[in-house]
Amino acid sequence: MSYSHPAVKLIGLVLITFAYYLVGKIGLGFASVHVSATPVWVPAGMAVALFLLLGFSIWPAIFAGAFLVNVTTAGSVFTSAGIAVGNTLEGILTAWLLQRFAHGVHAFESPPDILKSAILAGLLSPTVGATIGVTSLMIGRYVLLNEYPIVWLTWWMGDATGVLIVTPAILLWAQHPRIEWNSRQRAELALLFLVLLVTCEVIFGPFINTKHKYPLQFVLVPILIWAAFHFGPRETATLTVLMAVWATWGTINGRGPFTSDSQNEALLLGQAFLAVNTVMALALAAAVQESKDADTRFHATAERLVNKRTEELLHSQARLRSMAQTLTLTEQRERKRMANELHDYLAQLLVLGKMKLSEMHARIQDLSGPVAAMFQEIEQTLTKALDYTRTLIAELSPPVLHDLGLPTALQWLANQMKKHRLTVDVRLGASELPLTENQAILLFHSVRELLINVAKHAGTNKATLTLDVADHMLRIAVQDQGAGFNTDSLEPKQPGLQFGLFSIKERMEELGGWLRVESAPGEGTTVTLGLPLTSVVSSQDVSETEPHVHPPAVKAAGMRRVLLVDDHAMVRQGLRAILDHYPDLFIIGEAADGREAVSISRKRTPDVIIMDINMPRMDGIEATKLIKKERPGTVIIAVSVNDTPHIRESMQKAGASAFVSKEEVGERLYETIMAMTPTSTHSPLSKSQADLQAPSAKINGVDTPS
């Protein structure tokens, strides 16, 4: 039920009337010069606060309360009604002035408003109630003309101090009812009240009072200042009310510095002192609170701006970091594309040239003199061109990284660092890692930069490269015992090592990992890269997509059935041209990638497979594993442009029987095939017999003998 409901409003008016009456009767108990004039009049402050909080519609309650107080004390109905009119008009006028000039209910929350309130509510408005009230008593012949000044002054002083002391406390608690003291403030507040209690007891109390009129009242000023600085207007106003109660009680009992022969005079002096100090303390507390609020607003605004700017910077940093990683990956993809172009075309053309040269050499017998020298010179030229092409491919994009994975690529990188006069001890705790291509590329190049930094800046020719996996976390550490450096900051203050580390750090954070540096001048450096590992779903196995076909029986005896696997048609043609000259070899088909090789192997059961390594869809290593798993007796001979120990070792682990570099196939391929298949229980077929028994068919889109 809201306050606007008639029943609630009526109850509220009754309660206000009763409270006004009760407090008014207590106030009139301090009257001495006249029964209706008291220097302590709390209802004046209460009325102003209620008008500001509840509105002017409560005036009947104020009027009724004032009327009842006076009609039950002294005078007539006329004088009581006149006094009630004066008190009501005074409250309404005071509230209106505070609303008009001092922000109403917030009149005691800023120094300028407090000054206005002191003038309007403390000096001006109380004259209305005092004038109407005393005049009503004089008309009713309850006050003589010669008593008018002292009665009027007492009345005015009582109303003024009531407004200046009581109104701020009510308004401030009504506007800020929530208590937000922390433990330190609670302890300090308890101490403050204890000091106030002891001080008031010394000045006004019956136990420690010295009975002398020393001006000890000024000792209360530092207490008010303490409250003003450490708390706020609300607590300060509350303190002044408690101080006024204690001082008034002591004064009327003849204790304290305000006592005199006249009780009215003593109370007027005490009320004046309290009113002045209340205004001073409230103004000081408001000024301190405004300063605190301004400081809080400033810090809040500054923090908001800083947070906003930080978010913008973090967003920009994330975008720049992502852009840098994108540029790095784009560069690596372009390098890989160029390397593939060199491998797929230039290197294959050079290999094919050497094959043709070997074939021509085999057909032309008894070469000697200038022709033989020319053949040898051409072969050397092609070999040099092929070696240079391999070097370019490795520098642009190491095939070992894409074909064999990061651990093997790091071993290869360690061997390559010998060019920089750096010996790298490699310690691998894992041979296979579930890394995406982008992760592998960025980690590889980060390690490469770290090793190059060691070679350039560490002042040592030895380093240790450690790869370890624990708790789904990949850690790669590059350690040296070189010069070391100060790790206070990895920011790129100057070109050199710090910029490289900063770049790697940004790269790792973009991947979701981290970089840690442990170093000190003269104590070497350890840089650790960390990256959380997630499981990577492997590509679907061919055995799950290709139905198993039972191999047909061998139709001819004495033949070694050969399958050629290479993603370049011209290379397959070159291999076929070389092997077709041998009557004990029969080319049963060709495959352009590993998947086709697995499929044809199941259907045609070759004795020997010539397997390229770097192919699309499925490389030669994976195809070799699948074929050897299904047909362990199949002889697989690996051929590749990339003649590196890691390639040889990987094919050997997959099950390959031998490895022949493509530039040597003309001289070594046939011998290798015969060495891997030394015995035969069947006589060879003639060319015409083979053609009759092997009509052409298509398997997976590749022309193969059936």
pLDDT tens-digit readout, 440-469: 888 888 898 899 889 888 888 899 999 999
Q: What is the mean pLDDT of residues 504-533?
A: 86
Q: What is the mean pLDDT of residues 113-132?
A: 93
In the chain, the number of structural domains is 3
In a domain, 327, yes or no: no
For the cut 80, the answer to whether the pLDDT of residue 58 exceeds it is yes
In a domain, 234, yes or no: no
Range of the domain at 163: 11-177
- Between these two residues, 75 and 114, which has the higher pLDDT value? 114
**Coil, helix or strand for 540?**
coil
Predicted local confidence at residue 213, as pLDDT: 67
Indicate whether 635 and 526 sit together in one domain: no
In a domain, 528, yes or no: yes
- Do 83 and 37 contact (CB within 8 A), yes or no? no
Indicate whether 46 and 134 sit together in one domain: yes
Amino acid (1-letter code) at residue 291: S
Which two structure tokens, joined as six digits, stand for 273?
């002192």
Q: What percent of the chain has pLDDT over 90?
A: 36
Band of pLDDT at residue 699, cut at 50, 70 and 90:
very low
In a domain, 74, yes or no: yes
Task: Write out pLDDT tens, residues 13-31.
Answer: 999 999 999 999 999 999 9
Q: What are phi and psi of 35, to 5 degrees?
A: -65, -20
Indicate whether 582 and 700 sit together in one domain: yes
Amino acid (1-letter code) at residue 259: T
- Between these two residues, 152 and 205, which has the higher pLDDT value? 152
**Coil, helix or strand for 5?**
coil
Q: Which of 143-157, 563-577, 587-601 shows the lowest mean pLDDT across its residues?
A: 563-577
Indicate whether 642 and 514 sit together in one domain: no
Q: Which of 147, 177, 207 is the last residue of a domain?
A: 177
Predicted local confidence at residue 210, as pLDDT: 56
Closest CA to 363 of 355, 48, 422, 42: 355
- Do 510 and 325 contact (CB within 8 A), yes or no? yes
Q: Which of 118, 149, 177 is the last residue of a domain?
A: 177
- Between these two residues, 668 and 187, which has the higher pLDDT value? 187
In a domain, 298, yes or no: no
Q: What is the mean pLDDT of residues 251-273?
A: 87
Per-chain mean pLDDT for the chain:
83
Indicate whether 150 and 74 sit together in one domain: yes
Indicate whether 615 and 688 sit together in one domain: yes
Cα separation, 510 vs 317, whole angstroms: 10
Q: Which residues contact 660 (CB under 8 A, 6 or more apart)?
A: 637, 638, 639, 668, 669, 672
Which two structure tokens, joined as six digits, stand for 247?
């001082």
Q: Which of 498, 532, 566 is the last residue of a domain?
A: 532
Predicted local confidence at residue 523, as pLDDT: 85
Predicted local confidence at residue 489, as pLDDT: 55
Band of pLDDT at residue 435, cut at 50, 70 and 90:
confident
For the cut 90, the answer to whether the pLDDT of residue 381 exceeds it is no
Q: What is the mean pLDDT of residues 640-645?
A: 77
Indicate whether 39 and 155 sit together in one domain: yes
- CATH number of the structural domain spanning residue 413: 3.30.565.10
Predicted local confidence at residue 648, as pLDDT: 83
- Do 474 and 433 contact (CB within 8 A), yes or no? yes
Indicate whether 688 and 595 sit together in one domain: yes
In a domain, 282, yes or no: no
Closest CA to 198 of 135, 243, 140: 243
Indicate whether 528 and 561 sit together in one domain: no
Question: What b/e string do you get for 74-92 counting C-beta neighbours within 10 Å, with b at 16 or more?
Answer: bbeeebbbbbbbbbbbbbb
Indicate whether 583 and 461 sit together in one domain: no
Predicted local confidence at residue 492, as pLDDT: 52
Task: Write out pLDDT tens, residues 336-373.
Answer: 778 777 776 777 777 777 777 776 766 665 556 676 77
Cα separation, 243 vs 200, whole angstroms: 7
- What SS3 string covers 426-444? EEECCCCCCCCHHHHHHHH
Predicted local confidence at residue 367, as pLDDT: 59
In a domain, 264, yes or no: no
Q: What is the mean pLDDT of residues 415-432?
A: 88
Q: What percent of the chain has pLDDT over 70?
A: 87
- CATH number of the structural domain spanning residue 662: 3.40.50.2300
Task: Write out pLDDT tens, residues 609-618.
Answer: 999 888 888 8
Closest CA to 435 of 529, 301, 552: 529
Question: What b/e string do you get for 421-446 counting C-beta neighbours within 10 Å, with b at 16 or more?
Answer: ebebebeeeeeebebeeebbbbbbbb
In a domain, 629, yes or no: yes
Ramachandran region, residue 494 (left: φ > 0; alpha: ψ -120 to 50; beta: rest):
beta
Q: What is the mean pLDDT of residues 399-410?
A: 81
How long, in residues, is the chain? 706
Indicate whether 589 and 512 sit together in one domain: no
Indicate whether 508 and 553 sit together in one domain: no
